[in-house]
Structure 1
Amino acid sequence: MTTIKQEDLIQSVADALQFISYYHPLDYIQAVGRAYDREQSPAAKDALAQILTNSRMCAEGHRPICQDTGAVVAFLKVGMNVRFEGDMSLNDMINEGVRRAYLHPDNKLRASMVDPPIGARKNTRDNTPAIIYTDLVPGDRVDIALAAKGGGSENKSKFTILNPSDSLVDWVVKTLPTMGAGWCPPGVLGIGIGGTAEKAMLLAKESLMAPIDMDELKARGPQTPTEELRVEIFDKVNALGIGAQGLGGLTTVVDIKIAEYPTHAASLPIGMIPNCAATRHVEFHLDGSGPAVLTPPRLEDWPDVTWEISEQSKRVNLDTLTADEVRSWAPGDRLLLNGKLLTGRDAAHKRIQELLDSGQGLPDGVDFTNRLIYYVGPVDPVRNEAVGPAGPTTATRMDKFTEMMLAKTGLIGMVGKAERGPVAIEAIKKHKAAYLMAVGGAAYLVSQAIRSAKVIAFEDLGMEAIYEFDVVDMPVTVAVDSSGESVHNTGPAEWRIRIEELTKAG
């Protein structure tokens, strides 16, 4: 009989969550490095360089890879010869570990969990509760797999029940483009096959924990039907040309993971969940000898890639920005933002709309005239930081507010991640505005451009408050210009053709 002390489990969970907040799994970051070496699209290559540079900076500085530090998902396999010494339930121990990790004073992580999920949606402030799955298994130890799953990738999860005779590959290839780029490719695609509806999704989530081995698999050749399926899906997904951040390129996924379970003869349940550029997970075990020991990866094992400002980049003075200057920007232009930048995301936009609809107007000190808004919910600062990691959030969530913001506030542009939908693009075109894209998965790199930050409205919303940032050379790309042309449409379309030509040429 093995005895696991309550404190050992709590501390192990806390340590592991801190660990994955700033250390990418080495297999993932090396796979992105290989993708960088192969990439031929300049826009995608630049995005990959930012992701790789951000990863090394976070590993060195022990700060979060992404401002969205995720919902905690825990898979536990508890040996039946284990007893716990303590007065807390197993779930309470896990949640206490989450609480300690997310409130750590030297690396405070962003709390994103809200309760209840509808209605008030009040932030729990410590990122509890975790999503916990527990299996009782033979043995005398506890195996724990932890992940911190960001909302951008989780929101792109897909589920279907196919007919047994239907093609899984066809469904994946048809469905993936509908996910857009809000899941921050390149990443790993987890696919669960079989069981029931909820089992298929659970299989997909758990499959994302498996080591990345696609390059090795392709080098030796698939040896099972499942491996053949992985390779086929991998090749066909990358042939779509979606590319890093959806800008068009050779690599959309770095691996395909598949987990299977027997299912009803009449059914073929399929779950599909992507992991993003902020892939974060770790596995460890407890055997009664004390807290888990986590070995940091060696910095020399990171790809030797450093992002640098492009000579083609144009500096923009946000404090003197005009509508005419915005109209001069072309899709794909690389800009460096300098000056005062306002922020706001879902909750702030909803409150702005309520204020305007009621006739109250904007809060004192909030003026969007000839200004840009940055869709971000930053991590709290530590030490001498102006702000913690502050990468962009998924812009499509603000699509329904875009017409209101452009028509009623004087706003002339927005900054976020991934594509905009038709409603937002139509509003941008109508008002001759622009949408700029920052790289998702480069939050710490972006935060280095922010020299000061202060809350100017809606302080009660926490990370969703309206801030005013003072930025210096913050890198962005023109994703939708004033005519409504979107690089997230033109880029993948161009690279789909190029990849087809490259494949034919051998």
Structure 2
Amino acid sequence: MTITEDHLVSSIAEALQFISYYHPADFVAAMADAWAREESPSAKEAIRQILVNSRMAAVGKRPLCQDTGSVNVFLEVGVEAPTAWRRSVQEMADEAARRAYLLEANPLRASVVSDPLGARRNTGDNTPAMIQTELVAGDRVSVTVSAKGGGSENKTKFAVLNPSDSVADWVVDTVKTLGAGWCPPGIIGLGVGGSVDKAMAMAKKVLNDPIDITDLRARGARSAEEELRLELVDRLNALGIGAQGLGGLTTVLDVKVATFPTHAASLPVALIPNCAATRHVHFTLDGSGPATFTPPSLSAWPEIGAGDAAGRPLDLDNLDEATLASLAPGDTLLLSGHLFTGRDAAHRRMVDALGRGDPLPVDLAGRAIYYVGPVDPVGDEVIGPAGPTTSTRMDKFTRPLLEGTGLKLMIGKAERGPAAIEAIRDNGAVYLIAVGGAAYLVSKAIKAAKPVAYQDLGMEAIYAIRVEDMPVTVAVDMRGASIHTLGPARWARAG
């Protein structure tokens, strides 16, 4: 039997579709356990929304998250594998990505841009894929496919420690600085040893290992790597960061560690987090045909109800000062009315226009803007999955936009930096967060959407949208108080 190009291409393409709407069963189980144990009301509700969104995506076969990720393919090719390949692995993986991301029944968001130092134009099909290939003993081809979101990828850290330094201390100190942009609770992958490139590759690959920290705790550690995992899970959760950085008991579901021999003078450590949209699947090709994938049973999801989130109604079309002043960090709201979308590229254009004295294509006075780049709709959908993007990327545009337009509300995910919070306070604005990892759920609150400016930016165009009961949490109030400071401080504990 021969492993053909089509076997590999078709399998990767199907895997990318599969993981776009199915969480791994071990991840669902770990999140369900975290929800059951969580004591922080805000964090518990965030986890609930992630689980409800996960089940909705599985049933509807639509993306878990609007950031459908960059394509990562890990191949272990047996040296005796009967392959009949004429194209490179890169070419075959790119064809698979193209098929998957442009599939009419479930189009996935193209997020990859070419020319990273220049125009940064979207490639339109999410190619090229990121490939790691290794020749191993055997006669089969083992493949792991993952889709890695930008928010968690952006929080990657690397250091070369002294051999006598504590890896655990470095990891804890580093995670303290990551904020919530990686959408916790999730998984931390560590690559320790080797070289710079080896450590990074190990950290990325080990993220795809099964979540088994509960079993490990029950049987006890049998190696230095397992001792480090147990120590870090306890210490990281003791930080109190919690789901979405709101403060709570669970920040990490597991910590995965891979090691490799290294130079006597070095201790390289790579840290890569995986978010609440953890997506990966493994398959093996032996020549009998493309891989097949078995969906998880719907019984894997806990019975937590799919009811609407509770909260105080807020009319986006009547944002007066008294209403804004009444909002406090941690308040849960249900937004209804009209708002605009806008991400990095749109913000840059608007701020540049303000600097030139040019009019903007939309009137933001007294309005709200949502930091989102949605997936394209299918069928009778108004919009595809539309979860928030990391708000700190908009921090440098915040003051000129608030001062130049009269914008009053911003909606995104994770914390804001000091300069943005100062601008929010100075301009009597408020910052809200939606749950990262609940994109399909959030999209159901959007009742109308149309692009109104900068359509050449694709998913980063400005849309005018109308929402009904969109669930959000107040993150920064008019006085500059932040839930991302108050929440973790309340839930931090000795560890």
After TM superposition, where is structure 1 displaced by more than 6 Å over at least 4 residues in a row?
Answer: none
Aligned to 1:217: 216
Q: Which residue of 2 aligns with 1:470?
A: 466
Task: State how 1:9-408 maps to structure 2 within 5 Å.
Answer: 9-85=8-84, 87-311=86-310, 313-363=311-361, 366-408=362-404
Q: Contact 1:376–1:392 (CA<8 Å) still a contact in 2? A: yes
Aligned equivalents of 2:224, 2:199: Cα separation in 1: 19
2:456 to 455, 460, 464: 460
Which of 397, 419, 441 lines up with 2:415 in the alignment?
Answer: 419
TM-score (norm 1): 0.96
Q: How far is 1:310 from its partner?
A: 4.8
Q: Give the secondary-structure state (helix, strand or coil) at the position aligned to 1:99.
A: helix
Quick one: distance in 1 between partners of 2:30 and 2:214?
Answer: 8
The aligned amino acid for 1:319 is D
- Counterpart CA distance in 2 for 1:90 and 1:244 is 38
Cα distance in 1 for partners of 2:422, 2:135 equals 54
Residue 444 of structure 1, CA deviation: 0.2
Q: Determine the structure 2 residue equivalent to 1:438.
A: 434
Aligned amino acid, residue 67 of structure 1: Q
Q: Which amino acid aligns with 1:165?
A: S
Could you list the runs of 5+ residues in structure 1 that have no partner in the other structure? none
* Deviation of the 1:307 alpha carbon: 4.7
Tell me the secondary structure at the aligned position of residue 373 of structure 1.
Answer: strand
- Aligned counterpart in structure 2 of residue 428 of structure 1, from 424, 427, 444: 424
Counterparts of 1:303 and 1:88, CA distance in 2:
44
Residue 87 of structure 1: how far off its partner (Å): 4.1
CA shift for structure 1 position 138: 1.6
In structure 1, C-alpha distance between the alignment counterparts of 2:153 and 2:278, rounded to whole Å: 12
**Secondary structure class of the residue paired with 1:114:** coil
CA gap of 1:325–1:466, structure 2 versus 1, over 3 A, is same
1:324 deviates by 2.8
Cα distance in 1, alignment partners of residues 390 and 8 from structure 2: 34
1: CA distance, partners of 2:452 / 2:90: 38
**The residue matched to 1:263 in structure 2 has which SS?**
coil
Shift of 1:219: 1.4
Q: Separation in 1 of the partners of 2:305 and 2:400?
A: 40
DSSP 3-state at the match of 1:460: helix
SS of the aligned residue for 1:451 comes to: strand
Distance in 1, Cα, partners of 2:34 & 2:10: 36
Q: What RMSD over aligned residues (CA atoms) do the two structures have, in Å?
A: 1.1
- Paired letter, 1:352: M
* Number of residue pairs aligned between Structure 1 and Structure 2: 495
Structure 1 residues 446-467: Cα deviation after superposition (integer angstroms, max 9, x where no partner): 0000011100000000000000
In the aligned structure 2, how far is the partner of 1:306 from the partner of 1:155? 33
Cα distance between partner residues in 2 of 1:175 and 1:230: 16
CA–CA separation in structure 1 for the residues paired with 2:354 and 2:322: 26
The letter for the 2-side match of 1:72 is V
- CA displacement, residues 333-359 of structure 1 (integer Å, 9 cap, x when unaligned): 111110111000000001111111122
Could you tell me how far apart the structure 1 residues matched to 2:164 and 2:246 are?
34
Contact kept? 1:50, 1:306, Cα under 8 Å: no
Does the 8 A contact of 2:82 with 2:287 survive in 1? Answer: no
Does the 8 Å contact 2:28/2:300 carry over to 1? no
Kindly, what percent of the aligned residue pairs are identical?
A: 60
- Provide the C-alpha distance between the structure 2 equivalents of 1:222 and 1:10, rounded to a whole number of angstroms: 39
CA deviations on 1:16-66 (whole Å, 9 max, x unpaired) are 000000000110111010000100000000000000000000000000000
* Cα distance between partner residues in 2 of 1:217 and 1:197: 29
- Is the 8 Å Cα contact of residues 392 and 416 (structure 2) preserved in structure 1? yes
Q: Which runs of 5+ in 2 are unaligned?
A: none
CA deviation map 1:114-168 (0-9, x unaligned): 0011210000000000000111112111110111000000000110010000011
State the alpha-carbon separation in 2 of the partners of residues 14 and 306 from structure 1. Answer: 33
- Does structure 2 retain, via aligned residues, the 8 Å contact 1:76–1:144? yes
**Partners of 1:208 and 1:239 in 2: CA distance:** 21
Among candidates 482, 490, 494, match of residue 494 of structure 1: 490
